């Protein structure tokens, strides 16, 4: 594919090419009212997704007993990080207070993918179940765990391409309902994730190449089998809506914690970004919930800045990180994506306030710092959001563009979205922690 020369000579592209940690603020950002128009989805779609998750809650509470305390809702806590904030501020200040959204500890699969991935499997299962005539919208969906529905689902396949966590979520949920699940895993996927899936009876196909190839091969294999439903991480509106539910839930959660979000108390949210569906869907939900009072930023590894590259050049999925000489190799396996979703980049192009990159070593450093200060352990990808609050605090230009005063900044909330890590095995975690020490060997 020929790439526009002018796009390739932008200064920001130069920064990305040379693997510098880069912060890019989006000059095309519009008000929530305007920006939401171009997404092609609306509040009613997100409410529909929330209602579907509520119909499935009784089933989930039985299928995954760890969700019983939340009555079958898959949701995570929001906690303050006072000690981490103090530690970070030894290098550069954060105006406002630092909080963590613990999607890393979501039940079933321990990552943000427990939102979108599980939701899309449930939406597909519901369609098949309603189509069979064996159940109606008003029935208790617990019945879907019965042998007759297992037989129905057993005649169907579900496939997906993944760097690990999406496969884990979709595989576990699909297998639990009785579907034949096939996960096409990129070279980045950690061994323990593949092992865990196989233990659940999921077929795992491994590739020596990156995420783009795994998705492409999965799509191809599924296309030749009419009983196979392919979950398309690059384009799926269903996945996106599963993630978006987080926005309305967060509004309620912050209210319960006594955290105000309004013009005088802005909310900044930092979302690690791979292909874009997870952070894009969550950001969409956040804009619906908080309007112009929320500012959303995407965080990516220096070796895989596909969304920053696509948005800053306006080329979206017509350009990939390999086109500017990057290798898409990163310890942040959840973010090892070379080409962003064209759907998400375009849909969110007026709603995302900025993107930035950070090195693997920065993520490891933050991983160890969070462990030492707060006793919270995450996977490397999930730390990408952690350097955002300092960058936003430091940008006078950004404050001026949004007319953010020092007062507003000092009353703001910075929410770092921890996207994964709750299920990382202890030996793997020890290796991550060792990598924070510059003397140690890289993974
Ligand atoms: C998948 C993933 C992300 C990013 O989600 P995308 O939909 O790929 O952008 C971030 N963090 C972790 C841990 C993930 O697994």
- Ligand 1 atom 2, closest CA: 334
Nearest CA among 299, 326, 306, 334 for reference residue 190: 334
What is the CATH classification number for the domain harbouring 16?
3.40.50.1100
In this structure, are 105 and 118 located in the same domain? no
- What is the pLDDT, as a whole number, of residue 348? 96
In this structure, are 14 and 91 located in the same domain? yes
Could you identify the atom of ligand 1 that is nearest to the CA of residue 337? Answer: 8
Nearest CA among 371, 386, 374, 378 for reference residue 416: 386
The domain boundary residue, chosen from 217, 235, 253: 235
CA of 334 to the centre of ligand 1 (A): 5
Residue from 110, 237, 334, 342 whose mutation best tests the ligand 1 pocket (most atoms within 8 A of CB): 334
In this structure, are 360 and 282 located in the same domain? yes
CA of 152 to the centre of ligand 1 (A): 31
Residue from 211, 274, 301 whose mutation best tests the ligand 1 pocket (most atoms within 8 A of CB): 274
Q: Distance (Å, rounded) from C-alpha 306 to C-alpha 345?
A: 10
In this structure, are 182 and 287 located in the same domain? no
Q: Which residues contact 187 (CB under 8 A, 6 or more apart)?
A: 206, 207, 208, 209, 210
In this structure, are 245 and 264 located in the same domain? yes
Contacts within 8 Å (CB) and 24+ apart, 35-42: 35/287, 35/348, 35/350, 35/351, 36/284, 36/287, 36/288, 36/351, 38/346, 38/347, 38/349, 38/350, 39/284, 39/347, 39/348, 39/351, 40/237, 40/347, 41/237, 41/240, 41/241, 41/244, 41/284, 41/347
Tokens found for residue 5: 């020369």
CA of 271 to the centre of ligand 1 (A): 9
Residue from 236, 305, 381 whose mutation best tests the ligand 1 pocket (most atoms within 8 A of CB): 381
In this structure, are 16 and 93 located in the same domain? yes
Residue 354 counted as domain residue: yes
- In sequence order, which ranges of 74-164 are alpha helices (DSSP H)? 82-88, 113-132, 147-154
CA of 273 to the centre of ligand 1 (A): 6
In this structure, are 174 and 216 located in the same domain? yes
The domain boundary residue, chosen from 203, 235, 267: 235
Residue 440 counted as domain residue: no
- What is the pLDDT, as a whole number, of residue 440? 52
Ligand 1 pocket, Cβ-based, cut-off 6 angstroms: 111-113, 165-166, 272-279, 334-335, 337, 379, 381-382, 419-420
Residue span of the structural domain in which 214 resides? 113-235
- Ligand 1 atom 10, closest CA: 272
In this structure, are 399 and 272 located in the same domain? yes
The domain boundary residue, chosen from 170, 201, 235: 235
Domains: count for the chain: 2
- What is the pLDDT, as a whole number, of residue 188? 85
Residue from 299, 419, 423 whose mutation best tests the ligand 1 pocket (most atoms within 8 A of CB): 419
Tell me which residue has tokens 């874009």. 276
- What is the pLDDT, as a whole number, of residue 92? 97
In this structure, are 371 and 245 located in the same domain? yes
CA of 165 to the centre of ligand 1 (A): 8
In this structure, are 102 and 139 located in the same domain? no
- What is the pLDDT, as a whole number, of residue 130? 97
Residue 443 counted as domain residue: no
Could you identify the atom of ligand 1 that is nearest to the CA of residue 164? Answer: 15
Query: Tens of pLDDT along the chain (443 residues)?
Result: 567 788 889 999 999 999 999 999 999 999 999 999 999 999 999 999 999 999 999 999 999 999 999 999 999 999 999 999 999 999 999 999 999 999 999 999 999 999 999 999 999 999 999 999 999 999 999 999 999 999 999 999 999 999 999 999 999 999 999 999 999 999 989 999 999 999 999 999 999 999 999 999 999 989 999 999 999 999 999 999 999 999 999 999 999 999 999 999 999 999 999 999 999 999 999 999 999 999 999 999 999 999 999 999 999 999 999 999 999 999 999 999 999 999 999 999 999 999 999 999 999 999 999 999 999 999 999 999 999 999 999 999 999 999 999 999 999 999 999 999 999 999 999 999 999 986 555 44
CA distances from 420 to 224, 388, 431 (A): 33, 17, 16
CA of 322 to the centre of ligand 1 (A): 20
Residue 441 counted as domain residue: no
Could you identify the atom of ligand 1 that is nearest to the CA of residue 272? Answer: 10
Q: Tell me which H or E stretch contains 54.
A: helix 43-63
- Ligand 1 atom 11, closest CA: 419
């Amino acid at each position: 594919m020929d790439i526009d020369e002018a796009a390739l000579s932008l200064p920001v592209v130069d920064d990305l090419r040379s693997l510098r940690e880069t912060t890019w603020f989006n000059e095309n950002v519009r008000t929530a009212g305007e920006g939401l128009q171009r997404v092609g989805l609306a509040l009613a779609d997100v409410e529909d997704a929330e209602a579907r998750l509520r119909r499935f809650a009784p089933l989930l509470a039985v299928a995954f007993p760890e969700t019983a305390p939340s009555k079958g809702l898959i949701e995570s806590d929001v906690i303050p990080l006072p000690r981490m904030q103090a530690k970070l501020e030894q290098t550069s200040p954060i105006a406002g207070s630092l909080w963590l959204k613990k999607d890393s500890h979501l039940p079933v699969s321990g990552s943000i993918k427990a939102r979108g991935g599980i939701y899309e499997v449930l939406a597909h299962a519901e369609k098949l179940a309603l189509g069979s005539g064996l159940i109606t919208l008003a029935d208790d969906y617990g019945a879907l765990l019965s042998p007759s529905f297992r037989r129905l689902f057993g005649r169907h396949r579900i496939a997906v391409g993944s760097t690990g966590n999406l496969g884990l979520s979709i595989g576990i949920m699909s297998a639990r309902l009785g579907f034949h699940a096939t996960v096409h895993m990129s070279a980045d996927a950690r061994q323990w994730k593949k092992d865990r899936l196989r233990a659940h009876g999921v077929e795992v196909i491994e590739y020596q190449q990156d995420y783009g190839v795994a998705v492409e091969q999965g799509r191809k294999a599924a296309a030749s089998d009419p009983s196979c439903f392919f979950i398309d991480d690059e384009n799926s509106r269903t996945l996106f809506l599963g993630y978006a539910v987080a926005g309305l839930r967060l509004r309620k959660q912050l209210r319960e914690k006594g955290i105000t979000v309004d013009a005088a108390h802005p909310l900044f949210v930092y979302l690690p970004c791979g292909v874009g569906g997870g952070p894009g869907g969550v950001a969409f939900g956040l804009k619906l919930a908080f309007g112009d009072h929320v500012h959303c930023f995407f965080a990516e590894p220096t070796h895989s800045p596909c969304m920053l590259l696509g948005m800053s050049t306006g080329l979206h999925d017509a350009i990939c990180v390999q086109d500017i000489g990057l290798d898409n190799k990163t310890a942040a396996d959840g973010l090892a994506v070379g080409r962003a979703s064209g759907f998400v980049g375009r849909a969110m192009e007026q709603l995302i306030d900025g993107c930035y990159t950070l090195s693997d070593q920065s993520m490891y450093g933050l991983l160890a710092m969070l462990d030492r200060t707060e006793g919270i352990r995450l996977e490397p990808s999930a730390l990408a959001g952690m350097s955002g609050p300092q960058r936003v605090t430091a940008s006078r230009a950004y404050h001026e563009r949004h007319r953010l005063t020092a007062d507003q900044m000092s009353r703001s909330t910075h929410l770092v979205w921890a996207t994964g890590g709750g299920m990382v095995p202890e030996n793997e975690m020890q290796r991550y922690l060792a990598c924070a020490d510059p003397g140690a060997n890289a993974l």
